[in-house]
Amino acid sequence: MAAVEPSPSLFTGPLGAVETNPTALKLILGGKLRELRVAAGLDPSAVDVRLGFSRSKTSRIELGRHGCKPTDALALLDLYGVAGDERVTEFVRLVEQSRRSDWWRSFSDVLSDFFAPLVALEGAAATIRTYEPFYVPGLLQTSAYARAVIQSGPARLYSHDVQRRVDLRQERQRQLDQKDGPRLWALIDESVLLRTVGGPQVMRGQLEHLAAMMQEPRITLQIAPLDVTASVGVGTGVTYLRFALGDLKDAVYIEHLTDSTFSQKPQVVEQYRDMLDRLGACAQTPRQSLALVQERLARL
């Protein structure tokens, strides 16, 4: 079994703010353990047997679905030929960080399983790119607009559940205010401006907020005219997460009628990134988009 060549770190670069995101850390650590296992010429089942793990435990750790204990990490690193240096110390420290609870778990009562992967990782992204065909993106919604959107859904919700969902949306927005928070590049369909959600007063407040957010240097918003969205062929909401770290793969979240798809498969991610690129190239510029928002405000 070949030992891994020594290096200052097992990672491609400093993890920075990602260290505060347990879900992202689990994925990064799992991916690194997989690389080390492959380099050592072992398959997951062989590792399970060698270390006395339960069946498929190694695979679940590598996929970020199973929290890795520090003792497990030490055993795995030793088996893969990484032992007794600062790389081990760094890795175990990150394992301990990854075992903390994510902030969003306190909203598990109102957070659907299919939405959780996006919420879990968007704060770790360098850039969030999103396209919304029906509503203002959740990261740019006012609380009143968000409440109206949530109440318009098919499920009849108690007022407490509605407020919890609004609170979750606002908590997600706070990640944009962090020092190392993600940049937001949002594309919205022109029809979103014409759809008076929650009544004129709520819509006016939302458009005023949107105009203010468009002045923020880390936020870019473009309006996609109706003929553009028809030609590009976008029929659903899409969010693309671009990570600055080579140890964490980019991801895409695609909305459907009753559920969604979250994928980090390169071919899927590339397809939707290309779609967002084409849509952004055909959409109104940020300055033109601001003028459209202000024009709509004047008519309300």
User: DSSP letter string over 218-259?
Assistant: TEEEEEE-HHHHHHHT--S-EEEEEPS-TTS--EEEEE-SS-
Specify the range with the lowest mean pLDDT, choosing from 3-17, 43-57, 72-86.
Answer: 3-17
Q: What is the mean pLDDT of residues 186-205?
A: 96
Residue 168: pLDDT over 70: yes
Check residue 221 and give its pLDDT: 97
Higher pLDDT: 72 or 16? It is: 72
Check residue 4 and give its pLDDT: 46
Backbone angles phi, psi at 224, to 5 degrees: -100, 110
Alpha helices in 175-225 (DSSP H): 191-194, 200-213
Distance between CA atoms of 116 and 93, rounded to whole angstroms? Answer: 25
Check residue 234 and give its pLDDT: 66
Three-state secondary structure string covering 56-100: CHHHHHHCCCCCCCHHHHHHHHHHCCCCCCHHHHHHHHHHHHHCC
Check residue 172 and give its pLDDT: 96
Indicate the average pLDDT of the chain.
90
Check residue 215 and give its pLDDT: 94
DSSP 189: E
Check residue 9 and give its pLDDT: 73
Backbone angles phi, psi at 116, to 5 degrees: -55, -40
Distance between CA atoms of 42 and 60, rounded to whole angstroms? Answer: 16
Residue 127: pLDDT over 60: yes
- Could you tell me if 121 and 132 are in contact, meaning their C-beta atoms sit under 8 angstroms apart? no
Distance between CA atoms of 87 and 282, rounded to whole angstroms? Answer: 47
Q: How far is CA 235 from CA 56, 81, 97, 152, in A?
A: 38, 49, 39, 20
Specify the range with the lowest mean pLDDT, choosing from 8-22, 84-98, 118-132, 153-167.
Answer: 8-22
Residue 260: pLDDT over 90: no
Q: How far is CA 84 from CA 6, 38, 72, 296, in A?
A: 11, 21, 15, 64
H or E, element range at 138: none
Residue 138 — pLDDT band, cuts 50, 70, 90? very high
Domains and CATH numbers, the chain: 16-98 (1.10.260.40), 103-299 (3.30.870)
Percent of the chain residues topping a pLDDT of 90 = 75
Distance between CA atoms of 205 and 145, rounded to whole angstroms? Answer: 8
Check residue 108 and give its pLDDT: 93
Q: What is the mean pLDDT of residues 241-259?
A: 85
Amino acid at 297: L
Residue 257 — pLDDT band, cuts 50, 70, 90? low
